[in-house]
Amino acid sequence: MRHDPIPSRLFRHNRDRLRARLGKQALAVVNANDQLPTNADATQMLAPNSDLFYLTGIEQEETILVLAPEAFDPKQREILFLRESSEHLRTWEGHKLSKTEARALSGIDRVEWLSAFPVLFRQLMCEADQVCLNSNEHRRAVIEVETRDARFIRETQAAYPLHHYRRLAPLMHQLRLEKSEDEIELIRRACEITRQGFRRAVRKLKPGVNECELEAELAHEFIRQRARFAYPPIIASGASACILHYLQNDQPCRGGDLVLLDVGASYANYNADLTRTVPVSGRFTRRQRAVYDSVLHVLRALTQTAMPGVLHRDWQRQGEALMTEELLKLGLLKPAEVRKQDPDNPACKKYFMHGVGHPLGLDVHDVGSPREPFAPGWVLTVEPGLYIPEEGFGIRLENDIVVTNEGPIDLMADVPIEPDEIEALMRR
């Protein structure tokens, strides 16, 4: 565990919220992710299962959480199963959690080794009427490899075909959208590390510096602060900024160009997501400044309208309408194009083709339903952009905000964003 310990009250609170939604005689099971292979005999670093971490704080492979709130035996109502260590594992893989350590991290009193799972699980299944099993139901997920969850579902349904099975994912999505104060503090910490990484990278920036050198500065700061990249960073100079998911990060930054930095730190599995666009030579040209001001204007407006009760669909439409106005001012769209546009495919999409923002949390594109209106405790990104290939540059700006009844809280408020601030930072 690279990050500082998290108080177990966070995970107790999360399990309490889930228990309240499970229903009568329900049993819920949450598995760790698989450790995926690379080439030959190697494996990737384990990506902790977000739902399992949300409920337990455990980041170890093969872990299983079982919740049975109405089990006859009170000691069977909440059980954590762990992979048991051995001399062989200690030699080859290092430390594995002891039962005492897992209790302290998760706040779960009963911790068992995985060898005890089959018998205990059968006892609980014989009592349960409803069985809530998990799967990845993110709307944008592309699943090509069978997951541990999918195998567990298949095996459980084959062994117990007469139970009533329910999807756990919709419940988890509802719970995870609304962040507690403890969660917001962890995201705030990720944002602070991101801020420091951004400032470090900008100090390195000058004509001739390679994009990968800026990535290295970010990596240095993130790792130094016990964090990691939340996602592969985008360091895109010149026309590469018009590629939304540019990942090469291997081109020189040329004088007169802009460089777009879309980066975020992940601290304790909670993520930040920041985008800034800065001039390589230290000053925006008049045209760059005009486009930058338009994007910043839309970001400011969308931030203020991210209020409880707003649907993401309506927020997106508002962003597209605002961007259309800016594109008319910039001469990139003509009034006739706007009058003739298809409402389902507005003319602004030629230069602004992505969403205005998304939920943020344990996943960068965090779980949630577009049918749910914004509510207090949601954490959102706000990320308008304009991409002009014919002029050789793109500009995107992105902040992370907390939705509250009193108005949004900007978690990136101390990261320079005004063009004069950016130029002053470059001079220093």
Residues forming the active site = 41, 245, 262, 273, 354, 358, 365, 383, 387, 396, 398
The two beta strands, 393-396 and 385-388, are antiparallel
Inter-residue contact 244 to 298 (CB < 8 Å)? no
Tell me the three state secondary structure of residue 180. coil
- 90 contact partners, CB below 8 Å, separation of at least 6: 96
- 157 contact partners, CB below 8 Å, separation of at least 6: 163, 165
Inter-residue contact 297 to 329 (CB < 8 Å)? no
How far is it, in rounded angstroms, from Cα 381 to Cα 317?
Answer: 16
Rounded (5°) CA angle 106-173-354: 125
How far is it, in rounded angstroms, from Cα 270 to Cα 180?
Answer: 12
Instruction: Tell how far CA 395 is from the center of its chain.
Output: 22
How far is it, in rounded angstroms, from Cα 196 to Cα 193?
Answer: 5
Q: DSSP string covering 365-391, please? A: S----TTSPP-TT-EEEE--EEEEGGG
How far is it, in rounded angstroms, from Cα 175 to Cα 53?
Answer: 13
Which tokens belong to 48?
């902790």
